[in-house]
Amino acid sequence: MKHRTFLKTLAATATSWLTSRHGLFSQETPKLVQPPFAPVVPQTPFDAPAGTWTLAVLPDTQYYSQNFPDVFVRQTEWIAAHKTSHQILFVAHEGDITNHNTPEQWTRAQKAMRVLNTAAVPYALVPGNHDLGDNGKANDRSTLMNDYFSPADYQHSPGHILFEPGKMENSAHPFQTPTGKQLLLALEFGPRDEVINWANTIATQHADHQITIVTHAHLYSDNLRNDWTIDGVEGNKKRGNPKVYGLNTNSTVNDGEQVWQKLASKHANIRFILNGHITSDLGTGLLTSTATTGQTVHQILANYQDNSPNKGGTVMPAKGHGGGGFMRLMQFHPDGKTVQMKTYSPWYDQWLTEPNQQFSCLL
């Protein structure tokens, strides 16, 4: 299928889905006709001003680790192949690395992410709800993540800081870029109070760094943060708030609104919060808020996961192959003010260009 035809098909199905939710059309599940997958890693031209650097963002890979490991490997192979041409300086995984927190799925995730190790591309992982507890049910905070990843996997992020020695759930990664010092703050699903306190210390100690927070759950697809005063009402408990899960019975849990109030709104250097997790609507969301320190903070949801037919957990329109390999590329322009968000699949060699998939954020 030609690129233009694919984009027209996708735009039409996305428009149908959006309008149907407002009652303008009958409810109908949108369909996306997937193009053939690219048989080899595509060579993708760089389409940003000279001096632009890229933060690559991997939304939920749970169905790749379960059923489509080649798609996951394709994502990291593409990043490795374009490390220099696209100046990809860091990779952030938004969580739900696996679907069931099982050895088989962690082994597949390990294989995919270690492509980045070989290419010397630094990255950070955060656990999602499916990476925790029995069979990924998040009934507690136990995870096999630390059996398959270790601090040695952060060797290409030499200044990284761990919240707990030897444990990968929470980490901070300072790095230098053409637009100044950056820090990627990777926080667990529904961060504990002690993690929030640690993150505040990190933000204060790195006041000369621009900070991006990555955590699995924060923004919902209605462009509102997870907030238990809303989500805790009976009938709203499917909004994915971390407080719904069993881990809330054996540890403190902070949802999106609490992360905002206790952490993100208090530091002038925090500018982005990224999350996945949500499958409702189009699996995307954007909220720009003004912090108490005066700066704007862009909170961005992206998820593309695609479960087996007739099962829940699929972002519409369905992308196939567990999510089609779509990921986010954040291009930080040399003016130091413009960050262009783009959505690309190296599995299909296709871009999504709808307003919820390609847009600019101003710092």
18 burial class (0-12, 13-18, 19+ CB within 10 angstroms)?
A: middle
Q: Show the DSSP H helices in the chain as ranges.
A: 3-21, 62-66, 69-81, 103-118, 145-148, 193-205, 228-231, 256-262
Residue 221 in this model has a pLDDT that exceeds 90: yes
Compute the mean pLDDT over every residue in the chain, rounded to the nearest whole number: 91
Residue 66 in this model has a pLDDT that exceeds 80: yes
230-260 confidence digits (pLDDT tens): 999 988 888 999 999 999 999 999 999 999 9
Residue 6 in this model has a pLDDT that exceeds 70: no
Give every CB contact of residue 33 below 8 A, 6+ residues apart in sequence.
1, 6, 9
pLDDT confidence of residue 31:
57
For residues 264 and 196, is the Cβ–Cβ distance under 8 A? no
**Rounded-to-10 torsion of CA 247, 215, 298, 46:** -150
Confidence of residue 27 (pLDDT cuts 50, 70, 90): very low
286-331 confidence digits (pLDDT tens): 999 999 999 999 999 999 999 988 788 999 999 999 999 999 999 9
E strand residue ranges, the chain: 53-58, 88-93, 123-124, 161-162, 171-177, 180-187, 210-215, 270-275, 284-290, 296-302, 327-332, 338-345, 350-352, 359-362
| Cα–Cα distance, 182 to 172 (Å, whole number) | 10
pLDDT confidence of residue 335:
97
Residue 7 in this model has a pLDDT that exceeds 80: no
Q: How far is CA 309 from the centre of its chain?
A: 23
| Cα–Cα distance, 71 to 325 (Å, whole number) | 6
Q: Look up residue 41 and give its two tokens.
A: 């890693």
| Cα–Cα distance, 308 to 314 (Å, whole number) | 8
pLDDT confidence of residue 362:
97
pTM, 2 dp:
0.91
With both helix axes pointing from N to C terminus, report the angle between 103-118 and 69-81 in degrees, rounded to the nearest 10.
10
**How many C-beta atoms lie closer than 10 Å to residue 161's C-beta?**
18
pLDDT confidence of residue 3:
43
Which neighbouring-strand residues pair with 162? 171
| Cα–Cα distance, 198 to 193 (Å, whole number) | 9
The domain defined by 52-362 folds into Purple Acid Phosphatase; chain A, domain 2 (3.60.21)
Residue 28 in this model has a pLDDT that exceeds 50: no
Confidence of residue 21 (pLDDT cuts 50, 70, 90): very low
pLDDT confidence of residue 15:
40
Q: What percent of the chain has pLDDT over 70?
A: 91
| Cα–Cα distance, 49 to 335 (Å, whole number) | 10
pLDDT confidence of residue 2:
39
**Rounded-to-10 torsion of CA 288, 291, 294, 299:** -30
Single-letter residue type at 18: L
Residue 26 in this model has a pLDDT that exceeds 60: no
